[in-house]
Amino acid sequence: MNDVSPMAAGKALAQGPGALSGLKIIDLTRVLGGPYCTMVLSDHGADVIKLEPPQGDETREWGPPFDEAGDASYFLGINRNKKGVGLDLSKPAGREVLLRLLEDADVLTENFKPGSMEKWGIGYEEVLSKRFPRLIHCRVSGFGADGPLGGFPGYDAVLQAMVGLMSINGTETSGPTRLGNPIVDIATGLFSAIAILMALHEREKSGKGQFCDMTLHDCGMALLHPHAANFFLNGRRPRATGNPHPNLQPYSKFKTRTCEIFVAAGNDPTFRKFCEFLGMPELAKDPRFATNAARVTNRDALAEALNARFADEDGHELTRRMLAAGLPAGPVLNVDEAMAADHTAYRKMVTELGAYRGLGTPIKLSRTPGGTRSAPPRFNEHGAAVLRARGFSDAEIAALARDGVLVQERRR
């Protein structure tokens, strides 16, 4: 699983060093938020060294499905392009290895319980910022280190519940519903990548690193638009509306003969054009539907009229014609159908390298495109090579392995 050349066989592979070439990241994160962040950066050339605890990143076991070597799809989906090292940070010698690796690093990411790094004598304020003044330290935690919930553990679904996301998902009859994907973790990974890039940009002017305090709580709350904005203005508690948008109509799912479709008519001119396209110009003149405010008030009546109009249509063909006419619409696809779609292939959103398959990078840069460079690492796959590149002698590496500091195999 070495780095690939531009000519290696596969799909959506990196074709050059990438926009972040030369950036070195020491990654102590596990599970999702932190690893997602570092994968985004590694797709664009950052050299990410993933230091795993003796038991490994627990998502290696979050399956089935598993690959032929026993690693779960959950781990494989967010850890490509990284070098894997098994390191026991509970041992003083392990922390010394970490400090040596940080000597030429730009970024440290970790998601330990707040206070853990300080207990180990390697906290940012007292140790790392003084020893490595240009280092950017990004910590991902549930709630931060202080405040009423400071130091408490955080998990995606729990935060979806606590920040209000579950309350506006689902329907009036279903009650609060967890989003189908771990949106808070993924958003935290994305916001963390943005924070790191901001800190790197500022470092170009100041020459100084800084601490990025990223929490699932804050990032989850940042996803509440427009429901928070509505509440701030009208003081009413937002509620779950199912597929329809709380502020727009039609902006919802409808049934056709062949599939369900989603239609988004975001303003009055678009709605009038939408009605003309459907051969229903009178609908746009109906006082109940003439303005967006009226359509939101009379959403059920409009939905009944549109479902009747769509009942005999081929949804796939209809939505393609609508798109061609400048009307936002699309079929409701299953995941396997979305992976097989022609535009998915055209946009290189499925990447392959050998047996590895994953989602491609959505960040498309013209001069420095990113992409897959190497498959997700096996546990400690690059341990000796990473230490050797940092100046450790073969004798030192052997001693670290003998003493269980450099962990050769996962401890179950």
Residue where one domain finishes, among candidates 299, 331, 363: 331
pLDDT at 26: 98
pLDDT at 138: 98
Residue where one domain finishes, among candidates 331, 362, 391: 331
User: Alpha carbon 308 to chain centroid distance?
Assistant: 38
**Does 219 share its domain with 267?**
no
Distance between start and end Cα atoms, the chain: 24
What would the pLDDT profile of 170-187 be if each residue is shown by its tens digit? Answer: 988 999 999 999 999 999
**Does 148 share its domain with 297?**
no
**Does 142 share its domain with 210?**
yes
CATH number, residue 188: 3.40.50.10540
For β-strands 24-27 and 47-52, DSSP reports them as parallel
pLDDT at 412: 84
H-assigned helices in 311-364: 315-324, 335-340, 342-346
In a domain, 6, yes or no: no
**Rounded mean pLDDT of 97-123?**
97
Examine the pLDDT at 395 and tell me if it is beyond 60.
yes
In a domain, 176, yes or no: yes
**Does 279 share its domain with 143?**
no
In a domain, 232, yes or no: no
In a domain, 10, yes or no: no
Examine the pLDDT at 240 and tell me if it is beyond 70.
yes
**Does 368 share its domain with 317?**
no
Examine the pLDDT at 86 and tell me if it is beyond 50.
yes
**Does 102 share its domain with 139?**
yes
**Does 302 share its domain with 350?**
no
What would the pLDDT profile of 363-375 be if each residue is shown by its tens digit? Answer: 999 999 999 999 9
**Does 73 share its domain with 121?**
yes
Distance CA 243, CA 261 (A): 11
pLDDT at 7: 42
Q: Which domain holds residue 306?
A: 260-331
Looking at every residue in the chain, the average pLDDT score rounds to 95
CATH number, residue 299: 3.30.1540.10
**Does 313 share its domain with 360?**
no
pLDDT at 8: 54
Distance CA 364, CA 360 (A): 10
**Does 367 share its domain with 271?**
no
Distance CA 191, CA 376 (A): 22
**Rounded mean pLDDT of 58-72?**
96
Examine the pLDDT at 215 and tell me if it is beyond 70.
yes
pLDDT at 4: 45
Q: Which range among 7-21, 92-106, 144-158, 258-272 shows the weakest confidence by mean pLDDT?
A: 7-21
Domain total in the chain: 2
In a domain, 18, yes or no: no
Distance CA 152, CA 335 (A): 34
In a domain, 244, yes or no: no
Examine the pLDDT at 398 and tell me if it is beyond 80.
yes
What would the pLDDT profile of 114-129 be if each residue is shown by its tens digit? Answer: 999 999 999 999 999 9
Q: Contacts by 179-186 with C-beta closer than 8 Å and gap 24+?
A: 182/32, 182/156, 182/157, 183/156, 183/220, 183/223, 184/156, 184/159, 184/160, 184/216, 184/219, 184/220, 184/223, 185/31, 185/32, 185/33, 185/36, 185/156, 185/216, 186/32, 186/33, 186/36
Q: With left for phi above 0 and alpha for psi between -120 and 50, is residue 6 left, alpha or beta?
A: alpha
**Rounded mean pLDDT of 225-247?**
92
- The CB-side HSE value for 284 (13 A sphere, CA atoms) comes to 16
pLDDT at 207: 98
Residue where one domain finishes, among candidates 331, 354, 380: 331
What would the pLDDT profile of 142-162 be if each residue is shown by its tens digit? Answer: 999 999 999 999 999 999 999
In a domain, 57, yes or no: yes
**Does 357 share its domain with 297?**
no
**Does 45 share its domain with 176?**
yes
Q: Which two tokens stand for residue 231?
A: 């509440």
Distance CA 36, CA 30 (A): 9
The residues carrying an active-site annotation are 185
In a domain, 143, yes or no: yes
